[in-house]
Amino acid sequence: MSHRNWFRTNDIQPVRQIIGDGPMMHANSVHAVRQIIRKYRYPDWFADENRVKEFLGDRFYAAEQFDAWTCACKVCQNPGVYYSPLGCNCRPCRHRVMYMRWWTVIQLWFIHNRGDREIEEKHGWKSGTVGSIVQKIRRAVAGQPLDGSKRTGRPRGRPRKPPIIPDNSRTSL
């Protein structure tokens, strides 16, 4: 018996009655419909645009700052005209780009359950960008550092020298 004779038209109907309309049937095989099941749940306030804007505004505070005095890029020099901030390295442009990327990932990945590859292909991002942004968003929501480093409880920087206290017990008269 050849490969093509496994399923005939009369055989498909009883199989469909047993399986139902869930799986997709192609020629001689049955494939299950893939469903995206998220490992992590997103916060309920992600559905509220104002809360998301507030969250992103706190994270990327320089996104709306145009500093024409210190930055010589076209975006900051001409705030009323749209220029793409992708090539600029000033803080407002970097924050604006990351604000837009995080907004896109929150809307498409968290709320609309789109896949990583679909979002990356649509926006022309490198592979793994969405996964990295999702991880950083989860850490930001949890109040952890975005790079995954542990907090030690010690202050940053070089330790201060203790002040020198003069010894006044030996005074000459």
110-131 pLDDT, tens per residue?
Answer: 888 888 899 999 988 899 999 9
Q: How far is CA 112 from the centre of its chain?
A: 14
Q: What average pLDDT does range 124-139 have in this prediction?
A: 92
Q: Where are the beta strands (DSSP E) in the chain?
A: 24-26, 29-31
Q: Is the dihedral of CA 50, 51, 56, 61 positive or negative?
A: positive
Residue 77 lies in a domain: yes
Residue 105 located in a structural domain: yes
Is pLDDT above 70 for 33?
no
Q: What's the pLDDT band for 19 if we cut at 50, 70, 90?
A: low
Q: What are phi and psi of 25, to 5 degrees?
A: -110, 125
Asked if the structure places residue 107 within a domain, the reply is yes
- The overall pTM is greater than 0.85: no
By three-state DSSP, how is residue 150 classified? coil
The answer as to whether 82 is a domain residue is: yes
Q: Assess if residue 115 is contained within a domain.
A: yes
Structural domain harbouring 59: 44-142
For 50-84, write each residue's pLDDT tens digit.
999 999 999 888 877 766 666 777 766 666 666 67
Q: What is the pLDDT of residue 90?
A: 79
pLDDT band at 144 (very low <50, low <70, confident <90, very high): confident
**Does residue 113 form part of some domain?**
yes
Residue 132: predicted pLDDT = 93
Residue 71: CB atoms within 10 Å: 18
Counted domains in the chain: 1
Residue 4 has pLDDT above 60, yes or no: no
pLDDT at 73: 75
